[in-house]
Amino acid sequence: MIRSFFIFAFLIITTFLHGQIGHGGNPMLKPADKIDEVVSVVQKMQSLPLQIQQLASKPSGKKGDALRFAHPFFVEFTPANSGEWLIMENGVKIWRLGIKSDGAYSINLIFDRFNLIPGDSLFIFNPDQSLVLGAFTYNNNQPEGVLATAPIPGDQVIVELRSNSNSAKESGVMIGAVNHDYLNLFPYLKGGVFGDSGDCHVDFTCNDNGIWSLAGRSVCKIIVDGTELCSGTLLNNTRNDGTPYFLTAAHCLKQSNSASTVVFFFNYQVPNCESTIEGTPQQTLSGSYLRAFGETLDFALLEMTVVPPATYRPFWAGWSRTTSPSAPVRAIHHPEGDVKKVAQSNSAPTNVTFSASSPWGNPFLSNSHWRVASWQVGTTEPGSSGCALFDNSGLLIGNLSGGAATCSNPVNDYFSRLNKAWSHFPESNKQLAYWLDPDNANPESVSGIDYYDGGVERLSNFVKGDVATLKYLNPGKGVWSGHNSLLTKSIAEKYAWVKTATIQGIYLVTAKSPFFSTKTVNLRIWDGLFEPENLLATKNGIPLGQLRQQRENLVMLNSPVTIDGPFWVEVEFNNTAPVDSFAVFQSALSSTRIKNTAWIKSSQNDWIEFEDFNATNHPSAFWIDVLASDVQKIDTSVARPIGNYLLVYPNPACSQLNLRLDNDGPAIVELYNMVGQLVYKGSLYIFQGKGAINFSGLTQGLHLLKLSINNQVFYQKVLISTCN
């Protein structure tokens, strides 16, 4: 947001980038504490210039500009002049270079030359390998050959180029900039402590409005030139063709080729409104084309060099050219580079002149901004620059330019008006209309789209209201959801409500994980009705050091796996010592939770439901979520369950229960309260797997339903509530 700015000399980069999507695998080095333990040649950066050291000790915190967090050191590191080459026993050639910049909170790199030949791969990582980027391959090449990377935590990074090719040609690699983070504005670089933004902010995932929930999936955090933080929005166009246009503020792009260095972060947000658990920073893309730039309107329209993949669950936001937006309005943004937040004003914004200037000294045009007089929820901060202002229909009407609002005084923020930027300037590279309305249809508004039509979902047994916790053994040591004195071999989460799906990856929401551990866990996908039976997929040897605690960690499978019916996700411990060192979160034990989905594999290799294993007999869920495509869920209102299983709905219920099971005939239904008293008994006939019972006058609370049919007995927990 525009107020003040600093000017630095930057290397001019003359190309565009391919998406920063890694292609799997791991470095050949073992994790280490320090870089010189594993790399022989280390390039050390100079000390920060004095004026930068002063910024680091006394950051301005001013709104009105992209938030600068890093200083660039311009270099020319290549395999010919830096690092060392090694030849492995199998003939594979390895080039490694260590880079150290003392005191950096993180380091990111810009490659001025990046042209890998088929068969070669490149990794970038810190010594302990808590964050590994890559493998980058031939598929990441662009004709001009540039790559900008996401930050690596710490002041040491390793670049590893692996050549498996016998070709006479060699990969071309040159590092042109080493960017030293001096403000520590990336929450995930702090070993699990995050939340640099003000305490008045509301997390995006706490939102219950479906319209804004969709719109918010279009919002990304961005890094520009490896040194600056802003926010922005993926936008739809009138063709609904998925062209990845992205709107941000002009003042976020200070160099003529800044667009080529942009790194986009998707879904950087806390999961399930859990403000103490950080979202994954893993879903990134890099590089874009600059399509339109309005300096005195403070907007920039980019086009990503690749379409965001379906596994990023992107949404292309709609927009409106309205001149009289209706309240409430919301800004969805990444203040201070933090996880995604929401600010809300209950009053309609007004058309005003923002008396400020661009970084190049030119005043903004008159009547070109929306003024948000005050925020009733949240605010904006440095790093929010360029974020969208959405109207009450979830349509973008502007992007953040500047203002005075803070947590303590949330008044007067200014957003560049989309209707002004639409076609105020006639040149195609200075307006939005040419790009967002390529067929000159001239609509006043366009709806947002899910280009992949809901192709990928996040499946979870955690629901709103669940509280992430750790449950310690008593007696005993350790926790139920990890290493413990019972020598638990595995934990698993059961998904019985999914009919079919193709699993792409697994989210492990990790509560404990030793930072420098060389131990690993395995992921396994099983099918089965009553316990894991048939192994469908494995992902072995996941280092605990890469599963950061207090964060959701996304582990992509080596290849997708399709399931048909109930399935299980297992986390197998390769270290079963009775130590409290690794665990995922589980839902807090509560009598209001109906279904148990958490399972434990004992030291005797028996699979046991958690509610039968622990002394409280309360159900729970382990926080192991699933990233899946082509999902079909069981409709309990019509579906006949497969196998020996009873479905009961609605649950909670006030006067009627519907029953579904794979059985027909006369049945007896009994309801018992939690002290074992029989409070209801009735008979019914199950026909085509369906039946229902009606009751009234029962005390609120948890009950046990017993259904007897054809010499079989089924049990299900039921929560009785009041009828409204």
Q: Is the separation of the CB atoms in 364 and 353 below 8 Å? A: yes
Q: What domains lie within the chain, and their CATH numbers?
A: 35-189 (2.60.120.290), 456-633 (2.60.120), 646-720 (2.60.40.1930)
Backbone angles phi, psi at 455, to 5 degrees: -65, -25
Does residue 192 carry a pLDDT above 70? no
pLDDT at 615: 66
Q: Is residue 153 classed as helix, strand or coil in its secondary structure?
A: strand
pLDDT tens track for 614-651: 766 788 999 999 999 999 987 765 656 656 678 888 88
Percent of the chain surpassing pLDDT 70:
90
Q: How confident is the model at residue 195 (pLDDT cuts 50, 70, 90)?
A: low
pLDDT at 185: 60
Residue 222 and residue 263: Cα distance in Å, rounded?
A: 5
Residue 331 and residue 690: Cα distance in Å, rounded?
A: 47
Count the alpha carbons within 13 Å of 37 in the hemisphere toward its beta carbon: 10
pLDDT tens track for 477-521: 889 999 999 999 999 999 988 989 999 999 999 999 887 677 889
Which among 427, 425, 432 is positioned nearest to 398, based on CA atoms?
A: 432
pLDDT at 178: 97
Rounded to 5, what percent of the chain is helix, strand, coil?
10, 40, 50
Which among 126, 172, 173 is positioned nearest to 29, based on CA atoms?
A: 126
Q: Is residue 159 classed as helix, strand or coil in its secondary structure?
A: strand
Q: How confident is the model at residue 184 (pLDDT cuts 50, 70, 90)?
A: confident
Does residue 538 carry a pLDDT above 80? yes
Q: What is the DSSP letter of 45?
A: P
Percent of the chain surpassing pLDDT 90:
62
Backbone angles phi, psi at 72, to 5 degrees: -90, 130
Which among 396, 578, 337 is positioned nearest to 479, based on CA atoms?
A: 578
pLDDT at 61: 53
CA distance to 244, 289, 310, 326, 446, per residue, from 451 (Å) = 10, 21, 9, 27, 14
First-last CA distance in the chain: 49
Q: Lowest mean pLDDT: which of 46-60, 406-420, 488-502, 631-645?
A: 631-645
Count the alpha carbons within 13 Å of 707 in the hemisphere toward its beta carbon: 29
Q: What is the DSSP letter of 363?
A: B
| Per-residue tokens: 28 | 């050949």
pLDDT at 190: 35
Largest CA distance in the chain: 85
Cis check for the bond before 328: say yes or no (omega within 30 of 0). yes
| Per-residue tokens: 214 | 């969709």
Q: What is the DSSP letter of 81?
A: T
pLDDT at 531: 87
Does residue 307 carry a pLDDT above 80? yes
Higher pLDDT, 10 or 502: 502
CA 104 to chain centre: 25
pLDDT at 10: 27
pLDDT, average across residues 2-27: 42
Most confident of 82-96, 120-134, 381-395, 455-469: 381-395
| Per-residue tokens: 68 | 């600068």
Q: Is the separation of the CB atoms in 149 and 122 below 8 Å? A: no
pLDDT at 333: 97
Q: For 393-458, what is the HEC assignment?
A: CCCEEEEEEEECCCCCCCEEEEEEEHHHHCCCCCCHHHCCHHHHCCCCCCCCEECCECCCCCCEEE
- Mean of per-residue pLDDT scores for the chain: 88
pLDDT at 346: 97
Q: How confident is the model at residue 144 (pLDDT cuts 50, 70, 90)?
A: low
Q: How confident is the model at residue 20 (pLDDT cuts 50, 70, 90)?
A: low
pLDDT, average across residues 404-422: 96
Does residue 544 carry a pLDDT above 90? no
pLDDT at 527: 93
E strands present in 513-623? 520-527, 534-543, 551-564, 567-573, 583-584, 586-587, 598-601, 607-609
The structure's pTM equals 0.85
Amino acid (1-letter code) at residue 415:
F
| Per-residue tokens: 295 | 């300096």
Q: Lowest mean pLDDT: which of 213-217, 470-474, 536-540, 659-663?
A: 659-663
Pairing of strands 42-44, 93-100: parallel
pLDDT at 186: 52
Q: How confident is the model at residue 193 (pLDDT cuts 50, 70, 90)?
A: very low
Q: Lowest mean pLDDT: which of 142-151, 168-177, 325-334, 543-552?
A: 142-151
Q: Is the separation of the CB atoms in 629 and 501 below 8 Å? A: yes
Q: Is the separation of the CB atoms in 362 and 295 below 8 Å? A: yes
Q: Is residue 95 classed as helix, strand or coil in its secondary structure?
A: strand
User: Cα dihedral angle (635, 640, 641, 646), rounded to 10 degrees?
Assistant: 100
pLDDT at 231: 97
Amino acid (1-letter code) at residue 88:
M
